[in-house]
Amino acid sequence: MPFAQDESELPSPSSGSSSSGVTVTGSHPGDRYVRYVPANDLPLKPVGARYYVADVTAPKEGFGRLLYRLERVLIGRQLSWAEAKHERLNKVRALAILSSDAISSTAYATEEALRILVLAGLVGYSAMLSVGIAIVLLIAIVAFSYSQTIMAYPEGGGTYHVTLENLGKYPGLVAASALLIDYTMTVAVSISSGVAAVTSAFPSLYPYRVEIAVAAIAFITLVNLRGVRESGTVFVLPTYAFIVSMYVLLGLGFAAWLGILPLHPHPVRYPMPEAVQPLTLFLILRAFASGSSALTGVEAIANGIPIFKEPQTRNARITLVWMAGILATIFFGIHILTYHFHLVPSDEETIVSQLARTVVGESPFYYFIQAATAGILFLAAETAFADFPRLSYLLARDRFLPHHFRFQGDRLAFNTGILVLGVLTSLLVIIKQASVTALIPLYAVGAFSAFTFSQTGMVVHWWRMPDRHRHIHSMVINGIGAVATGIATIVIIITKFVYGAWMVIIIVPLLVAMMAAINHHYRSVAEQLRLSPIELRQRTKRPIRRSTTAVVPIASLNRASYWALEYARMIARDVTAVHVAVEPESGEILRKRWEEAGLDIPLVIVESPYRELIGPLVAVIEKIHREKGCPFLTVVIPEFVPAHWWERILHTQTAWRLRRVLSHIPDIAITGVPYHLVR
């Protein structure tokens, strides 16, 4: 019984309470006010004798049971609070898991930059190296900056958290919106790129890339609903497979280039497109903006400090350095070799695939490289499936998103966030036809604005420290980082504006406005509902002064409505019955029956020649309410419940409609008295 094993998680029962009996007085002063009643029925089991503890239940029979079993097979056994696991990882595993997003972006960064440059034709290649060097510099700066963040936030410095704390509510919301977009785009771009790796190796699958991508997203969604143990080996392998195969590939490529090995690479030759633009600075900046997608994911280590073994910050910083180094070298290696072989971007084959085929031909190793590429990209998408729901949980906890994002499902996963992400990314992939080039403009904006917010927040963080003079160099590093990423953000926005970045510019303010409105609403509700302890005491001391008045809408006199009349008499002294006649004779018919029965409950009849029911009924209820001096009114609505669910549509849902309208009137309680039909 899982809930009994880890009792340290549950509030401890006070000693001295017996395990049977109706009301138990324990040693706790308030005990006589809490009812401890033991019971042996499933699904409720007593623990000690104070509480009930609920266990899981399966439906007994029928379709419900079938669905339940299916869910268990797909998703697994339900987990209780006590089973939430928190493991710590060593640096090797942590590197694999946390750097998959960053390192996987080398699969498309060079290619996207080159796509822009070849718009200038052959002459575009001359700018390649400059762009590559700029990106590598940026990697270094950002890595250094996040190293500072690690030191400042040893519990994990998420961008949202850092910004909210240091820059305030609205910057925090903007950063959060940028992050949500970033994570969504990470999934879309990574999945699309992974599918591109597959279709490069198997070109016959190219027409089905959208379907494959959506299927991959559905699979990852399901896996996450199961609650992924992210430390598993299955998560470590793809990253190292990719890293190792990339280094081997790059090594062979350079060896061939420098003549060290007697390899004869056959460069893959796609036709060079015509030059359609001159090689302007703007074009080079556009290329830089696309290539800077290499940096996406660099913040992951700073966010994920809690999973490191002790000493956490030191291990995290070391891993960060490793990650930055691997990222920079693989990126620049691909970049240089692509330049050397003058590979041409194509829709049907990725640059990495072309490079691999150039150096090693269509050998088994080539297929291994493609598989590893796809693997690390899916892994990158998976990490976003962990980050997005976690962020939406934090936002919901801070009351910026609806409650629903807080709830953990059967497997302790944040179901709402996972499902929302799965649906959003599926739609995105379908609309953009799984094209990385179409998705890149939205991707880079979100990522780099998040960087900028994070770094700026860090500068403010150091500034606010009482001993700020001791942190000058941290401030400078983060300042350079903020400026560099800020410039990059602006460049990206300007160069990508017409290609899709404008959407982000529109979505972010909308998201921020929505989150602020949600927050305002929740606070307003909390404020209006709050009952301070003092007020509570005062109210409890006050005697209950009044009784309720009942009104019973009656359509016709039958068992169900008579039941409602009896209930009304049970709870109130003053009972009035109301009948709205939508057909001409029904009022008279009811009145006669009322007399024959000798009922001593007053009957009010409303003729409704325009055949309206709810309007006149509510109007007369309000009238009665006013006439009786506005007591607390209870409207007792007779209902009958058919024996089978499909029969419900045969009965107009008047009770529900009435209830909805009445719920808008203050001081009215609405009671449904269901009469159950057996056949």
Residue of 207, 364, 609, 629 that binds a second copy (CB under 8 A): 609
Per the structure block, which two tokens stand in for 623? Answer: 């009238």
Residue of 364, 466, 598, 629 that binds a second copy (CB under 8 A): 598
Instruction: Give residue 372's Cα distance to chain centre.
Output: 28
Instruction: Between 415 and 455, name the residue whose CB sits nearer to a second copy.
Output: 415
CB of 37 to a second copy, least distance (A): 7
What is the Cα–Cα distance from 176 to 365, expressed in whole angstroms?
A: 41
Residue of 14, 78, 329, 435 that binds a second copy (CB under 8 A): 78
Residues numbered 422 to 461 that lie near a second copy (CB under 8 A) are none
Residue of 181, 383, 576, 621 that binds a second copy (CB under 8 A): 576
CB of 70 to a second copy, least distance (A): 18
- Alpha carbons within 13 A on the beta-carbon side of 484: 21
Question: Which span (162-170, 196-204, 278-286, 632-640) binds a second copy, by CB under 8 A?
Answer: 632-640
620 binds a second copy (CB under 8 A): yes
Residues numbered 289 to 348 that lie near a second copy (CB under 8 A) are none
CB of 35 to a second copy, least distance (A): 4
Burial 61-92 (b: 16+ CB within 10 A, else e): eeeeeeeeeeeeeebeeebbeebeeeeebeee
Question: Which span (192-200, 247-255, 430-438, 555-563) binds a second copy, by CB under 8 A?
Answer: 555-563
What is the Cα–Cα distance from 199 to 207, expressed in whole angstroms?
A: 9
Residues facing residue 45 across a β-bridge: 53
559 binds a second copy (CB under 8 A): yes
Instruction: Between 47 and 503, name the residue whose CB sits nearer to a second copy.
Output: 47
Residue of 16, 21, 278, 584 that binds a second copy (CB under 8 A): 584
Contact 414, 405 (CB under 8 A): yes
- The mark string for 643-662 relative to a second copy (x by CB under 8 A, - otherwise) is ----x-xxxx------x---
Q: Where are the alpha helices (DSSP H) in 258-299?
A: 281-291
Residues numbered 27 to 56 that lie near a second copy (CB under 8 A) are 29-30, 33-35, 37, 39, 41, 43-44, 47, 50-56
CB of 302 to a second copy, least distance (A): 29
Q: Which residue in 511, 477, 210, 252 sits closest to 357, CA to CA?
A: 252
Contact 445, 488 (CB under 8 A): no
413 binds a second copy (CB under 8 A): no
By CB under 8 A, the count of residues binding a second copy is: 127
Pairing of strands 548-553, 44-47: unpaired
CB of 567 to a second copy, least distance (A): 6
165 binds a second copy (CB under 8 A): no
CB of 663 to a second copy, least distance (A): 5
573 binds a second copy (CB under 8 A): no
Residue of 606, 621, 625, 658 that binds a second copy (CB under 8 A): 606
- The mark string for 489-528 relative to a second copy (x by CB under 8 A, - otherwise) is -----------------------------x--xx-xx--x
Contact 110, 133 (CB under 8 A): no
9 binds a second copy (CB under 8 A): yes
Question: Which span (386-394, 452-460, 473-481, 620-628) binds a second copy, by CB under 8 A?
Answer: 620-628
Instruction: Between 58 and 260, name the residue whose CB sits nearer to a second copy.
Output: 58
Instruction: Give residue 536's Cα distance to chain centre.
Output: 37
Q: Nearest 5°: phi and psi at 674?
A: -85, 135
Question: Which span (127-135, 353-361, 373-381, 404-412) binds a second copy, by CB under 8 A?
Answer: 404-412
What is the Cα–Cα distance from 406 to 471, expressed in whole angstroms?
A: 37
CB of 634 to a second copy, least distance (A): 7
**How deeply is 426 buried, as exposed, middle or buried, from its count of CB atoms within 10 A (0-12, 13-18, 19+)?**
buried
Contact 48, 17 (CB under 8 A): yes
Per the structure block, which two tokens stand in for 528? Answer: 């209006």
566 binds a second copy (CB under 8 A): yes
Instruction: Between 397 and 473, name the residue whose CB sits nearer to a second copy.
Output: 397
Angle formed at CA 33 by CA 32 and CA 38, multiple of 5 degrees = 75
Instruction: Between 473 and 592, name the residue whose CB sits nearer to a second copy.
Output: 592
Residue of 81, 170, 202, 219 that binds a second copy (CB under 8 A): 81
Instruction: Between 299 and 410, name the residue whose CB sits nearer to a second copy.
Output: 410
CB of 664 to a second copy, least distance (A): 7
Instruction: Between 429 and 621, name the residue whose CB sits nearer to a second copy.
Output: 621
Contact 153, 160 (CB under 8 A): no
Return contacts of 596-604, CB within 8 angstroms, 24+ apart: 597/557, 599/565, 601/552, 601/565, 601/569, 601/575, 601/576, 601/577, 602/575, 602/576, 602/577, 603/554, 603/576, 603/577, 603/578, 603/579, 604/576, 604/577, 604/578, 604/579
Q: Where are the alpha helices (DSSP H) in 304-363?
A: 312-341, 351-360
Instruction: Between 78 and 313, name the residue whose CB sits nearer to a second copy.
Output: 78
672 binds a second copy (CB under 8 A): yes
273 C-beta neighbours (distance < 10 Å), count: 16
Dihedral in degrees, nearest 10, Cα atoms 296, 302, 308, 310: 150
61 binds a second copy (CB under 8 A): no
Instruction: Give residue 312's Cα distance to chain centre.
Output: 27
Instruction: Between 94 and 554, name the residue whose CB sits nearer to a second copy.
Output: 554
What is the Cα–Cα distance from 457 to 376, expressed in whole angstroms?
A: 31
407 binds a second copy (CB under 8 A): yes
Distance between terminal CA atoms of the chain? 40
CB of 30 to a second copy, least distance (A): 3
Residue of 121, 171, 402, 500 that binds a second copy (CB under 8 A): 402
60 binds a second copy (CB under 8 A): no
Question: Which span (152-160, 369-377, 467-475, 578-586) binds a second copy, by CB under 8 A?
Answer: 578-586
CB of 54 to a second copy, least distance (A): 4
